[in-house]
Amino acid sequence: MNDRAVSTAVTWALTMLITTLLLTGLLAATGGQIESRTESVTRAELEVIGQRVVTDLSTADRLAATDPQSVSVRTRLPPDVAAGNYRIAVEATDAETAVVVRSGDTAVRVPMANRTAVANASVPGGNVRITLDGGALEVSAA
């Protein structure tokens, strides 16, 4: 009788242990997978956002080269990416102009060629407006 009672308790303990181990392993695996997927999806999204901003900046640059009275381009962008909020920065130096899109620790840099000067800027993610102001292209939140 006593032995049967012990056997039941041991079986229960073992079952609980194995179930816990299996579930923990499964959750750890999916958690890691989600983390790495989030990172790669965020990177892909930032890259596309950066390229869209550069494309529209280039369009504005091409239009600005014709000595117009005004140029204004609106770029439609998602309000956030997989990892949350993001920021768009325009970094123009004498050597290179680039658009840097950053969300958390993930940052993507898209270089561009321009003829019209581009002003440095840093705006929160979402729709942006590119305008020609005083001979330089400016990026601002729309």
Partner 1 sequence: MADLSGDRGRGQMLLVGGLAVAVSIVVLVLLLNAAIYTQNVATRGSGVEGDDALEHRTVMVEAAGDLLDAENERDYAARGPLAANVTRAVTNASSGLRSQWVGSVTAASLDGLTLHNGTRIVQDGSRNLTDAAGTATWTVATNATGIREFTITPDRIDGTTVDPVSANGSTRINVTGSNGTWRLHVYDDGGPTLAVKNASEASPTTVCPAFDTGARVDLIEGTVNGTACAGLDFAKGLSPEGPWDVSIVRGNHTAGTYALTANTTAISPNLDGPGSGSSPRWEPRVYSAALDLSYRTPELRYESRVRVIPGEDDE
Residue 9 interacting with partner 1 (CB under 8 A): yes
Backbone φ/ψ region at 4: left (φ over 0), alpha (ψ -120 to 50), beta: alpha
Binding residue for partner 1 (CB under 8 A) from 1, 3, 15, 100?
15
Nearer to partner 1, 9 or 95 (CB): 9
Other residues' Cβ atoms within 10 Å of the Cβ of residue 71? 19
Which of the ranges 18-26, 86-94, 98-106, 113-121 carries the binding residues for partner 1, by CB under 8 A? 18-26
Binding residue for partner 1 (CB under 8 A) from 1, 2, 3, 69?
69
Strand 136-141 to 117-118 pairing: parallel
Residue 51 interacting with partner 1 (CB under 8 A): yes
Residue 21 interacting with partner 1 (CB under 8 A): no
> What Rg value do the Cα atoms of the chain yield, rounded?
26
Report the sign of the C-alpha dihedral through residues 58, 123, 89, 103, in that order. Answer: negative
Residue type for position 17:
L
Residue 71 interacting with partner 1 (CB under 8 A): yes
Work out how close the CB of 34 gets to partner 1 at its nearest, in angstroms, rounded to a whole number. Answer: 5
| Cα dihedral value 55, 88, 37, 29, nearest 10 | 170
**CA 126 – CA 114 distance, rounded (Å):** 23
Interface contacts to partner 1, rule CB under 8 A: 5, 8-9, 11-12, 15-16, 19-20, 22-23, 26-27, 30-31, 33-34, 37-38, 40-41, 44-45, 47-48, 51-52, 55-56, 59-60, 62-63, 66-76, 81-82
